[in-house]
């Protein structure tokens, strides 16, 4: 292999990696984010083209190899294009999960194939990343498929567990790592097969006991896994572009995992042990309107909203579950056209994946400057006439400020500082933490018992009748 050629390829890889970093950097502002994506695409095309050139230059590839590549790109690319074009924004978490699965799966296959080619002659400097790639990639593959199934509702979103599940999980992890060490010591295919099987089953049993509400953390974590698996694949085939790109994704997934876990006031370990989170159908049996709770009719709520000068909308998981983003946008538009100052307070874990609520509202044509992050909006509640809480529970519970509750220390939206609070909720059922929300018994709070979608439509209709 000529030195100059190799140098050129390496330089292209560095340029591609720079594009990835720059692309991610441009994502720090909605105004430049689209350009960021384009820069990233350019880097990707360059890196793939360079790899193609590298393969041609190597001269090892045969005609069937080319057919395999072409067929794979056509089939996979076509499927990717189709799903990306048709997917509903509410289904984004599933899609991201599927892409995690195939990315992790591809990374594992690269290592498996490389291991088969080299055979017993493999050195430790390759076998260690190979085994790491196979284990992480396989866990990501099966785990992400289960996560996508749970999000899609194909698999129950409630935690699925059985007595001794944790012991089985630990056993699987020990088998995967133990056999991994054995394969590194004496490379053989059977050992690798055991590692792959154990890792695949572990991926399933790791995600099954995790409840639907914990999905933002799980997806982020699997995203980090995929990145790491791809970086390991880079070590295996000695490709700098894969190492850098994988590390970037690993870092991104890691940060998001940490942010999500913090926003839920739980440790990552606690979530992964699982069995605590609940499914989507959190219709608790608790009676409607308990002691000290005042309910409100649509017309009265509409009067408050129509004559307010500042309204903050607090959308939560319930809004996403009811898919009421278009209804909320319609109400907000109507209020804005009356000169009401409307903004949205978005808690980090609103929705089913990091930032999901923002995408849903953007799809409903809500301008992004109205979407406010928690730290930005919290000081504004004090001068807000009406805070309209829709399907958000624990993230508004003032009990988080006190010590000794299940959500103590969890960052919350200071909804109770608003002059008046309207909560749209189906029942007095508990949120994810399973405790009473003190906001609901606040004298300033009125409860509007309705499904988010229907309730918002009613409110919009009432405001329209009210103001003609």
Partner 1 sequence: MLLTDFIIFVLSLWVGFEVISKVPATLHTPLMSAANSIHGIVLAGGIVIAATAHNLVGYILAFVAVAFAAMNVVGGYVVTGRMLKMFKRRVAPVPASPAVEASPNGKASS
Active site residues: 394
Tokens of 259: 């942010």
Instruction: For residue 134, give the nearest of 108, 102, 114, 116 by alpha carbon.
Output: 108
Classify residue 175 by burial, with Cβ atoms within 10 Å: 0-12, 13-18, 19+. middle
Q: What is the DSSP secondary-structure string of 28-69?
A: GSHHHHHHHHHHHHHHHHHHHHHHHHHHHHHT---HHHHHHH
Write down the least CB distance from residue 162 to partner 1, Å: 31
- Which residue's CB is nearer to partner 1, number 103 or number 274? 103
Tokens of 32: 């430049």
Write down the least CB distance from residue 290 to partner 1, Å: 33
Tokens of 158: 């409630």
- Which residue's CB is nearer to partner 1, number 52 or number 275? 52
- Which residue's CB is nearer to partner 1, number 82 or number 154? 82
| C-beta of residue 106 within 8 angstroms of C-beta of residue 112 | no
CA distance 101 to 447: 42
CA atoms within 13 A of residue 199's CA, in its CB half-sphere: 28
- Which residue's CB is nearer to partner 1, number 108 or number 298? 108
- Which residue's CB is nearer to partner 1, number 4 or number 28? 28
Q: Which residues contact 386 (CB under 8 A, 6 or more apart)?
A: 304, 305, 308, 310, 311, 312, 418, 419, 420, 421, 422
Write down the least CB distance from residue 41 to partner 1, Å: 5
CA distance 466 to 376: 32
CA distance 198 to 379: 50
Instruction: For residue 145, give the nearest of 189, 201, 188 by alpha carbon.
Output: 201
Tokens of 162: 């059985």
Report the SS3 class of residue 324: coil
Write down the least CB distance from residue 107 to partner 1, Å: 5
Write down the least CB distance from residue 449 to partner 1, Å: 30
| C-beta of residue 293 within 8 angstroms of C-beta of residue 366 | no
CA distance 251 to 271: 20
Distances (CA, A) of 121 to 63, 127, 130, 185: 27, 10, 13, 11
- Which residue's CB is nearer to partner 1, number 348 or number 455? 348
Tokens of 271: 């979530």
Write down the least CB distance from residue 440 to partner 1, Å: 26
- Which residue's CB is nearer to partner 1, number 32 or number 294? 32
CA distance 343 to 332: 8
- Which residue's CB is nearer to partner 1, number 69 or number 466? 69
Write down the least CB distance from residue 204 to partner 1, Å: 18
Instruction: For residue 244, give the nearest of 2, 6, 10, 3 by alpha carbon.
Output: 10
């Amino acid at each position: 292999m000529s030195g100059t050629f190799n140098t050129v390829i390496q330089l292209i890889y560095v340029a591609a990696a720079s594009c990835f970093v720059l692309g991610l950097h441009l994502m720090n502002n909605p105004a430049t984010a689209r350009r960021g994506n384009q820069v990233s695409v350019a880097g990707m095309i360059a890196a793939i083209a360079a790899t193609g050139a590298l393969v041609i230059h190597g001269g090892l590839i045969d005609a069937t190899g080319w057919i395999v590549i072409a067929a794979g790109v056509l089939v996979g690319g076509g499927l990717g294009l189709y799903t990306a074009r048709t997917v509903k924004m509410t289904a984004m978490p599933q899609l991201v999960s599927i892409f995690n699965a195939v990315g992790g799966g591809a990374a594992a296959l690269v290592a498996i194939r490389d291991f088969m080619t080299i055979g017993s002659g493999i050195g430790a400097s390759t076998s260690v990343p190979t085994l790491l790639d196979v284990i992480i990639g396989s866990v990501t593959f099966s785990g992400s498929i289960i996560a996508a199934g749970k999000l899609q509702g194909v698999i129950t979103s409630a935690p699925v567990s059985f007595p001794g599940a944790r012991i089985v999980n630990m056993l699987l992890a020990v088998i995967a790592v133990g056999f991994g060490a054995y394969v590194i010591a004496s490379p053989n295919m059977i050992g690798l097969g055991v590692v792959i099987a154990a890792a695949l089953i572990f991926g399933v049993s790791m995600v099954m006991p995790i409840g639907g509400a914990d999905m933002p953390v799980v997806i982020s974590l699997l995203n980090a896994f995929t990145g790491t698996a791809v970086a390991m694949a880079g070590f295996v085939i000695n490709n700098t572009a894969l190492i850098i790109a994988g590390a970037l994704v690993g870092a991104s997934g890691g940060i998001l995992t940490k942010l999500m876990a913090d926003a839920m006031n739980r440790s990552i370990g606690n979530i992964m042990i699982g069995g605590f989170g609940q499914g989507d159908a959190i219709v608790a049996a608790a009676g409607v309107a308990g002691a000290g709770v005042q309910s409100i009719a649509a017309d009265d709520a509409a009067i408050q909203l129509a004559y307010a000068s500042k309204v903050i909308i607090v959308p939560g998981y319930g809004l996403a579950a009811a898919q009421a983003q278009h209804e909320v946008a319609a109400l907000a538009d109507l209020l804005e056209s009356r000169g009401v100052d409307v903004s949205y307070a978005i808690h980090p874990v609103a929705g089913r994946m990091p930032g999901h609520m923002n995408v849903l509202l953007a799809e409903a044509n809500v301008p992004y400057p109205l979407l406010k992050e928690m730290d930005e909006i919290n000081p504004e509640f004090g001068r807000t006439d009406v805070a309209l809480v829709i399907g958000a529970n624990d993230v508004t519970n003032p009990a988080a400020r006190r010590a000794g509750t299940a959500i103590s220390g969890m960052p919350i939206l200071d909804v109770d500082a608003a002059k008046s609070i309207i909560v749209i909720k189906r029942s007095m059922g508990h949120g994810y933490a399973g405790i009473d929300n003190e906001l609901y018994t606040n004298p300033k709070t009125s409860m509007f018992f309705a499904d988010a979608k229907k309730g918002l439509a009613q409110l919009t209709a009432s405001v329209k009748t009210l103001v003609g």
